[in-house]
Amino acid sequence: MKSATRLLKGLIGLTVLCASISVWTAAAAAPAKSVVQNLDDTLIGTMKQADSLGFEGRYKKLAPVIDDAFDLDRIARLALGSAWSKLNAEQRTQYQAMFRKDTIATYASRFKSFSGQSFEIKSTGDAPGGRAQVNTVIHADGKTIPINYVLDQSSGEWKIVNVVAKGVSDLALKRGQYTSSIRE
């Protein structure tokens, strides 16, 4: 009887622990999800106004949202890899400014028209290293394309540190691009 009571107490304790972890995960995932939702909403809104905004207008509309959503300084450092340590303070500042402009320009040029596209957040959860992952899809031209965002907390705020589209890491692509540019 004592054994059954201990087992029951242990199961209840485990259930409470699992429920607590689940509530904590959901609470932690909510801010990360809202970062991605805000980005997705702004992208769709920008696409709907693409013609009237033009490239410059799209750039100006996307810039503050991209600044809020992405940890651009960190992504820039990671993309440069070991070459980062070889730059002096002025070069680092110039590189980060160029990286920011390039990132915003890429979004402004890629999201330039609307033909019924929509984003859908499929799930949120934990990622390795205390990060969060927000799994989305974009519905476009009869296709469903997976886009997964990896977010980390920077100064207490969730920020995107990597985007994986169709299984390909944007950070890995940027690392290859910027590392090869630095070598040249």
pLDDT in tens, 3-15: 444 433 443 433 3
Give SS3 for 71. Answer: coil
pLDDT of residue 60: 98
- Give the mean model confidence (pLDDT) for residues 103-119: 96
Is residue 34 scored above 80 in pLDDT?
A: yes
| 71-110 tens-digit pLDDT | 999 999 999 998 999 999 999 999 999 999 999 999 999 9
CA 76 to chain CA mean position, Å: 14
Q: For 119-145, what is the mean pLDDT?
A: 94
With contact defined as beta carbons under 8 Å apart, do 104 and 55 qualify?
A: no
State how far the Cα of 178 lies from the Cα of 80, in Å rounded to an integer: 6
Integer Cα distance of 154 and 164 in angstroms: 20
Roughly how many angstroms between the first and final C-alpha of the chain, as a whole number? 75
Secondary structure of 44-58 in the HEC alphabet? HHHHHCHHHHHHHHH
- Report CA-CA distances (Å) from 45 to 14, 36, 81, 111, 113: 45, 14, 34, 10, 10
Per-residue pLDDT of 48-74, as tens digits, reads: 999 999 999 999 999 999 999 999 999
Identify the band that residue 166 occupies on the pLDDT scale cut at 50, 70 and 90: confident
- The confidence score (pLDDT) of residue 16 equals 35
pLDDT interval class at 139 (50, 70, 90): very high
Provide the pLDDT confidence category of residue 170 given band limits of 50, 70 and 90.
Answer: confident
Band of pLDDT at residue 180, cut at 50, 70 and 90: low
pLDDT over 90 percentage in the chain: 67
Of residues 174 and 106, more confidence is placed in: 106
Question: Quick count: other Cβ atoms within 10 Å of Cβ 100?
Answer: 18
